[in-house]
Amino acid sequence: MTTTENGSGTRELAGKRALVTGGSRGIGAAIVRQFLDAGAEVLTNARSAASTPHDGATFVAADVRTRAGAETLAAAAHELLGGVDILVHNVGGAGPHKGALAIPDEEWQDTLALNFLAPVRLDALLAPGMRERRTGAIVHVSSAATPLAPPPFLHYTAAKAALENYSRGLAAELAPSGIRVNTVSPGRTATPGGEATREQWALLDEGPGQDTTAPPIGRDGRPDDIADAVLFLMSDRAGWLTGSNLVVDGGEFPRG
């Protein structure tokens, strides 16, 4: 039995149709690979395809910052998969600034569009199909640093805080329809996007500096650490879990 099989030897996501946003690298790529291993049919997107695409996943180019991009992706999910049972909103990120007041207006809008509006729009397009079928599971990827609200990233953590709040409310609305909605909040994870952001932060000559010490568990996260949590939340083992926020950060940002 592999780790993606359940107690009866069936692969955990066998027969499930999954959309994972931003699956061309980093955390999204690990989620796509684990979902494929678990037997799901997987559609993923990014603005540009991965240099080493996953065998077995379908890729669509779509920029989810716009409503048109979300509609392109949702249409592909309907046409190529016939709808989705599993939806992971993984796309996200933002660059640092010298402080909250230095964040330009267009970047506030861009960051809110990427980290908050994209999931809201895609849910509105794809969750009604789940409701009709009275089954489905959604994960929103936030950040363990959200409650800290670091000024260089206030546009990002404010957008992620909105996402967490929205995710809880959506969970309450969809639970009676048999749809589970949860959040996964990664800590510092070794990905191309994460590393590039931390390099930019280190180059800022003003504003609060970043803490480069390893999390209490003794190492930074790996994309598979986060994908493990997402796969668990999508599996039947999490059948009674909804409205939760699973913080996966090696103990870096303890929450009450």
Residues 116-145 that bind ligand NAP (CB under 6 A): 141, 143
DSSP per-residue string spanning 66-101: SHHHHHHHHHHIIIIISS-SEEEE--------SSGG
Answer yes or no: are the C-beta atoms of 20 and 90 closer than 8 Å: yes
φ/ψ of 106, rounded to 5, equals -65, -25
Is 166 catalytic? The answer is no
Part in contact with ligand NAP (CB under 6 A); list of ranges 95-103, 119-127, 186-194, 235-243: 186-194
**H-type helices in 13-153, by residue range?**
26-37, 67-76, 105-112, 118-133
Q: Which of 96, 119, 136, 194 binds ligand NAP (CB under 6 A)?
A: 194
Nearer to ligand NAP, 1 or 202 (CB): 202
Residue 30 burial (CB < 10 Å; 0-12/13-18/19+)? Answer: buried
Part in contact with ligand NAP (CB under 6 A); list of ranges 57-65, 99-107, 168-176, 230-238: 57-65
Nearer to ligand NAP, 40 or 118 (CB): 118
Nearest distance, CB of residue 84 and ligand NAP, angstroms: 16
Does 91 bind ligand NAP (CB under 6 A)? Our answer is yes
DSSP 184: E
- Tokens at residue 21, please? 């946003």
Residues that bind ligand NAP (CB under 6 A): 22-28, 45-48, 63-65, 90-93, 114, 141, 143, 186, 188-189, 191-194
